[in-house]
């Protein structure tokens, strides 16, 4: 939780100003109490389901270790994420493997270790899975990743189950894939995977996913194929404002109801909803200036430290770490990189008296923040700290 105490911004009870005295800016800070609270909400909304945290959102070792100890599973898309999940303490039987271009070494590792399931992305992946199973002497548990062509309401880059997307099996290939998997003695068909995309906020999109999943379970069973697992993927979004987020309980009312009579186990792969609100990025003002009728505040963090605003639009709130009585004015917060797109916020309301050395906090960056940081302009990667 973020709150001001005596005009100093605190994350889960810890002063960000105090942290900035010990850690050079820019840095990320994650609050474990907020993380645990939001992870627990998913567990309570979907009792008995496998809640597989998506490491693509955040792979800090302490974050992962905390979630593993709570009994969550992990969703991994690379050999590096597999290794990070194992190091954090996730049991191999609670690892779900995703991706449209899986390394052969990842397939072999997953099959040999007895991963919960491997989400099959393409017909062409089947012989690679068979080879992995033969090389390890184990049976691969397979879920069909179905792309039903849903036009969900989110950023175009975040739609992964729409027509034309590179992810998943198109409808006309699903039954063929099921036959190929069932005919391979090295493979076991366990269910379906239907991840529609990320940052979904509207119930009508969840309903579309639920309807597609139910339809495919029934269709596959009619064809004689066993479907015991429905993996909904992730995608539950946050508002990135002070407005309340949709909750896992809202999602469960749609998803669980859609399969309540089908006798299937549920798997979910949340990332953003669990960890985004638990993270902030602290950055320091380099200088402020007036130009072109606007007020610009340049800080020491930009698209090198937080790439999301450039990729998906400026959605993050920016707050002063030390609250001021000065008038708040529209301010364009920009980074230090040589790119006109290096804008953290175009119209943040910030104190007029901001000056060099002052601290700002960029909110809701626990997901897709540090994991996407880069070395543009040869700048060092931001540090990450955990509190609570």
Question: How much is the pLDDT for 164?
Answer: 59
- Spatial CB neighbours of 304, under 8 Å, sequence gap ≥ 6: 335, 337, 373, 374, 375, 376, 377, 379
- Give pLDDT tens digits for 294-305: 999 999 999 999
Do 206 and 252 share a domain, yes or no? yes
Range of the domain at 245: 32-275
Do 182 and 301 share a domain, yes or no? no
The count of other CB atoms within 10 Å of the CB of residue 329 is 14
Q: Per-residue pLDDT for 211 more than 50?
A: yes
Q: Per-residue pLDDT for 159 more than 60?
A: no
- Give pLDDT tens digits for 321-371: 999 999 999 999 999 999 989 999 999 999 999 999 999 999 999 999 999
- Residue at a domain's end among 275, 298, 330: 275
CB distance 150 to 161 below 8 Å: yes
Q: Per-residue pLDDT for 149 more than 70?
A: no
Ranking 152-166, 194-208, 306-320 by mean pLDDT, the lowest is 152-166
Q: Strand pairing of 359-363 and 318-320?
A: antiparallel
- Give pLDDT tens digits for 108-139: 999 999 999 999 999 999 999 999 999 999 99
Q: Per-residue pLDDT for 162 more than 80?
A: no
CA 194 centroid distance within chain: 16
- Residue at a domain's end among 234, 249, 275: 275
- Give pLDDT tens digits for 62-104: 999 999 999 999 999 999 999 999 999 999 999 999 999 999 9
CB distance 344 to 314 below 8 Å: yes
CB distance 302 to 329 below 8 Å: no
Q: Categorize the per-residue pLDDT at 161 as very low, low, confident or very high, splitting at 50, 70 and 90.
A: very low
- Spatial CB neighbours of 94, under 8 Å, sequence gap ≥ 6: 50, 52, 72, 73, 74, 116
Question: With pLDDT > 70 as the criterion, what percentage of the chain qualifies?
Answer: 95
Q: Per-residue pLDDT for 227 more than 80?
A: yes
Which CATH number is 129's domain given?
3.20.20.10
Do 47 and 165 share a domain, yes or no? yes
Do 315 and 240 share a domain, yes or no? no
Which CATH number is 343's domain given?
2.40.37.10
Do 255 and 139 share a domain, yes or no? yes
Q: Per-residue pLDDT for 5 more than 70?
A: yes
Question: How much is the pLDDT for 151?
Answer: 65
Do 243 and 160 share a domain, yes or no? yes
Active site residues: 338
Count of domains for the chain: 2
Question: How much is the pLDDT for 155?
Answer: 45
Peptide bond into 163 cis (omega under 30): no
- Residue at a domain's end among 259, 275, 291: 275
Q: Categorize the per-residue pLDDT at 195 as very low, low, confident or very high, splitting at 50, 70 and 90.
A: confident
Q: Per-residue pLDDT for 235 more than 90?
A: no
Question: How much is the pLDDT for 166?
Answer: 61
243: which 2 tokens? 């407005």
The count of other CB atoms within 10 Å of the CB of residue 372 is 16
234: which 2 tokens? 């992730």
Q: Per-residue pLDDT for 160 more than 60?
A: no
Do 122 and 232 share a domain, yes or no? yes
Do 246 and 123 share a domain, yes or no? yes
Residues paired with 294 in a beta bridge: 291
Do 12 and 124 share a domain, yes or no? no
Backbone angles phi, psi at 283, to 5 degrees: -135, 155
Do 93 and 232 share a domain, yes or no? yes
Do 227 and 302 share a domain, yes or no? no
Question: How much is the pLDDT for 197?
Answer: 72
**CA count, 13 A, side-chain hemisphere, 296:** 15
- 């130009």: which residue's tokens? 291
Q: Categorize the per-residue pLDDT at 315 as very low, low, confident or very high, splitting at 50, 70 and 90.
A: confident
CA 190 centroid distance within chain: 24
- Spatial CB neighbours of 314, under 8 Å, sequence gap ≥ 6: 343, 344, 345, 346
Do 280 and 241 share a domain, yes or no? no
């Amino acid at each position: 939780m973020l709150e001001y105490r005596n005009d100093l911004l605190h994350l889960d009870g810890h002063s960000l100003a105090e942290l900035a005295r010990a850690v050079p800016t820019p840095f990320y800070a994650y609050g474990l109490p907020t993380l645990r609270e939001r992870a627990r909400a998913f567990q309570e909304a979907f009792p008995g389901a496998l809640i597989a945290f998506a490491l693509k959102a955040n792979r800090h070792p302490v974050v992962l270790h905390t979630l593993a100890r709570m009994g969550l599973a992990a969703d991994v898309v690379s050999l590096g994420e597999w290794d990070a999940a194992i190091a954090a303490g996730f049991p191999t039987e609670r690892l779900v493997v995703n991706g449209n271009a899986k390394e052969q070494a990842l397939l072999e590792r997953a099959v040999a270790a007895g991963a919960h399931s491997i989400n099959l992305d393409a017909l062409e992946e089947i012989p690679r899975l068979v080879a992995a199973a033969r090389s390890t002497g184990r049976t691969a548990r397979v879920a069909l990743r179905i792309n039903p062509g849903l036009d969900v309401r989110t950023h175009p880059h975040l739609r992964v189950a729409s027509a034309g997307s590179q992810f998943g099996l198109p409808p006309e290939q699903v039954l063929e894939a099921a036959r190929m998997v069932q005919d391979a003695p090295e493979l076991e068909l366990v269910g379906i995977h239907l991840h529609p995309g990320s940052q979904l906020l509207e119930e009508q999109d969840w309903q579309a996913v639920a309807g597609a999943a139910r339809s495919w379970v029934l269709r596959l069973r009619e064809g004689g194929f066993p479907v015991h697992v429905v993996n909904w993927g992730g995608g539950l979004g946050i508002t990135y404002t002070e407005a309340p987020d949709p909750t896992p309980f809202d999602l469960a009312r749609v998803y669980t109801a859609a399969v309540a009579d089908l006798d299937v186990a549920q798997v979910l792969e949340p990332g953003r909803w669990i960890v985004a609100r638990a993270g902030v990025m602290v950055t320091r003002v380099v200088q402020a200036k007036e130009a072109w009728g606007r007020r610009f505040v340049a800080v020491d963090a930009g698209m090198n430290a937080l790439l999301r605003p450039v990729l998906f639009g400026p959605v993050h709130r920016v707050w002063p770490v030390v609250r001021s009585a000065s008038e708040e004015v529209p301010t364009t917060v920009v980074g230090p990189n040589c790119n006109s797109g290096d804008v953290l916020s175009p119209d943040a309301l910030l104190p007029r008296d901001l000056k060099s050395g002052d601290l700002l906090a960029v909110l809701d960056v626990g997901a897709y923040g540090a994991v996407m940081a880069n070395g543009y302009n040869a700048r060092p990667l931001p540090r990450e700290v955990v509190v609570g």
